[in-house]
Amino acid sequence: MIKVQGLTKRYARTVAVDNISFEVEKGQIVGFLGPNGAGKTTTMRVLTCFLPPTAGTATVAGFDVLENPHEVKKRIGYLPETPPLYPEMEVSEYLTFVGRLKGISSADVDRRVGEVTERCAVGDVRNKLIGKLSKGYRQRVGLAQAIIHNPDVLILDEPTSGLDPKQIIETRELIKHLSGDHTIILSTHILSEVEHSCQRVVIINQGKLVATDSVENLTNRLRGAEAVALEIASSNGPLDPAVVQQQLEQVSGVSRVLPREAKDGRLAFEVESLQGRHVRADLARAVVHAGWNLNELRAVGLSLEEIFLQLTDVGQASTGGLQAPSSDPAPKEP
Amino acid sequence: MKNTWIICRKELKSYFASPIAYLLMAFFALIFGFGFYTATRDFVRFGFMAQMQGRNMPMNVNEQVIRPLLGFASTVALFLIPMITMRLFAEEKKTGTIELLMTSPVYDWEIILGKWLGALLLYLCVLAMSGINIAMLFAFGKPDWKPILIGYLGLILQGGTLLAIGAFISTTTKNQIIAGGVTFFVCLLLWLLSWFTAFDSTGYASVVNYLSIVTHFEGFAKGVLDSKDVIFYLSMIFFSLFMTSRSMESLRWRA
């Protein structure tokens, strides 16, 4: 349904998107994962024919974005990061306008507006001015305008940003519902959202493709590398950090023990385990057996940055700026 | 074409949903009314004076009231038009709705034409405020209606041109105030240029005079429908709208 090959978008001095390629099959939900400024929005803007690519190709439903933008636009529903709303219009008036703009005939448009109003649960505010709506309602009206003409492809840029937890769940359900008939690309920087809604994931960082995989594979990779934060206090006399570290390293399943900053004479460590191994129970036992006090034992989720580091196998912190990681973008097995 | 009408209607609704349309119409009604009062009063005074002095001056309502009034209206329009065009594109750029327009299956020229037509229709509504004053003339005198019609045609063409220029300027910035300000200065410049070169016949002056939007209006004010003036205005409209479309296209490369 969507084919992107070697897509590059360059502005005067920056490279926003650098040689990205991926494919999306019909009916799939694909998540676009990446930190802010990674190039997700730019890629989406190229797909929706708002920006022309500097190099490479992008096709939607067989139509090229440069050669046949009109056909592409007919088949895409787009919800940008800030929903494109006119504050002086009423909700139903706005949806009618967008519906007509997208090519729905005047005979059908009222019916369609009614349908999407119900689907997106904005019926209560259909006669309210958009300028007076809360963020949650605005987001839903934005979603309504994206689906009103029943497009083959939906491109949603951070659809749950700014919503409260209940609304986030409702929106996710709605998106899941839509997935069978529509092909959906969903961009976000929240990993859990990708987990819940998407079947596949495309990870972008600093304009480059970092990984593209099914969600299952991705979470398997990440689960295994879960870290555990440990805080140990002494029950009788000061502790030697080196000794403690050694003891912890000997717990089966532990791959690495890193000392961390601690307060008031306590010792803190971050313990990384091998893939697929859960070491918390063993660690707790080891600490207690050695006669120390176990102050704190908790799982530390990997930050998005650490995930990238994991996946690209680069042993450095993010440098920011335009320097791209030197490793090749293909996913490596840890 | 139908997309053009959809956008045109949306623009009009937006104008009338905000105070701007009513403000402009009221303002113009007031100013034109005042100008009308002055012109008619002077005309009547002049008539009395001529009577008292025993001279029989040929008194022509058309020439002495309507023509200067039309010229006056065109000058007032110069100052109102920036207020109409400033929000055409600048606001859409600022709120991000331009992205909605440019990713919908609508051609760029449909968007531009639709917006320009919306602005033009608002301008017509503003001009219509002068109608009641002109109607008074017909009630109490016998002016010739043909030159009046031609005069209004001239006003519409001149307005259309300035609206197109204003639309172009509106695409260059996100800030409505800047768009309005620059349009105002451009209109002012055009007005002043025609003023300064009105009686000059040196080389550059004639060129400026020929290109001047204001100068071409004079024929219409006199009631003369000269095709070269019509063509001039239509070409200027086309050129300005073309520049607007280039400017819109360039948004895709800058974003």
Q: What is the rounded CA–CA span in Å between residue B18 and residue A202?
A: 44
Helical axes A106-119 vs A91-101, angle rounded to 10°: 130
Domain assignments of chain B as residue spans, ordered by start: 2-254
pLDDT score of A252? 81
In a 13 Å sphere around the CA of B212, the CA atoms on its Cβ side amount to: 25
Q: In angstroms, what CA-CA distances link A318 with A183, A304, A324, A325, B46?
A: 33, 11, 9, 9, 84
Query: Which residue on chain A is closest to B9 by alpha carbon?
Result: A97
Is the minimum CB–CB distance between B203 and chain A shorter than 8 Å?
no
Q: Is A51 helix (H, G, I), strand (E, B) or coil?
A: coil
Start-to-end Cα distance in chain B: 27
- With a CB cutoff of 8 Å and minimum separation 6, the contacts of A328 are none
Model pLDDT for residues A290-318, shown as the tens digit of each residue: 888 888 888 776 555 566 566 655 433 33
pLDDT score of A317? 36
CB-CB under 8 Å, B104 with A73 = yes
The number of C-beta contacts closer than 8 angstroms across A and B is 68
Name which of B211, B127, B121, B119 is nearest B164 in CA terms. Answer: B119
CB-CB under 8 Å, A85 with B97 = yes
pLDDT score of A301? 62
Contacts of B14 in chain A (CB under 8 A): 86, 88-89
pLDDT score of A312? 55
Closest Cα in chain B, distance from residue A90 (Å): 11
Q: What is the pTM of this model?
A: 0.81
Tokens in use for B184?
């105002």
Q: What is the rounded CA–CA span in Å between residue A44 and residue A257?
A: 41
Q: In angstroms, what CA-CA distances link A56 with A31, A65, A320, B19?
A: 21, 11, 25, 48
pLDDT score of A222? 61
**Which domains does chain A carry?**
2-214 (3.40.50.300), 226-300 (3.30.70.100)
Q: Is B210 helix (H, G, I), strand (E, B) or coil?
A: helix
Model pLDDT for residues B175-212, shown as the tens digit of each residue: 999 999 999 999 988 888 777 776 767 777 777 777 77
pLDDT score of A328? 37
Beta strands of B141-217 (E only): which ranges? none
pLDDT score of B92? 93
Residue B186 near residue B169 (C-beta atoms within 8 A): yes
CB-CB under 8 Å, B104 with A48 = no
CB environment A105-124: b (16+ within 10 A), e (fewer): eeeebeebbeebbebbbbee
- With a CB cutoff of 8 Å and minimum separation 6, the contacts of B132 are B29
Q: What is the rounded CA–CA span in Å between residue A63 and residue A69?
A: 8
- With a CB cutoff of 8 Å and minimum separation 6, the contacts of A201 are A30, A31, A33, A194, A211, A212, A213, A214, A215, A218
pLDDT score of B121? 96
Q: What is the DSSP letter of B121?
A: H
Q: What is the rounded CA–CA span in Å between residue A119 and residue A217?
A: 33
For chain B, residues with pLDDT lower than 70 are: 55-62, 198, 200, 255
Is the minimum CB–CB distance between B135 and chain A shorter than 8 Å?
no
Q: In angstroms, what CA-CA distances link B203 with A17, B207, B209?
A: 54, 7, 10
ipTM score assigned to the predicted complex: 0.88
Q: In angstroms, what CA-CA distances link A320 with A10, A243, B42, B153?
A: 18, 37, 74, 60
Is the minimum CB–CB distance between B106 and chain A shorter than 8 Å?
yes
Query: Which residue on chain A is closest to B96 by alpha carbon?
Result: A84
Helical axes A135-147 vs A91-101, angle rounded to 10°: 30
For chain A, residues with pLDDT lower than 70 are: 218-226, 275-276, 301-334
Residue B103 near residue A76 (C-beta atoms within 8 A): yes
Contacts of B102 in chain A (CB under 8 A): 49-50
pLDDT score of A332? 41
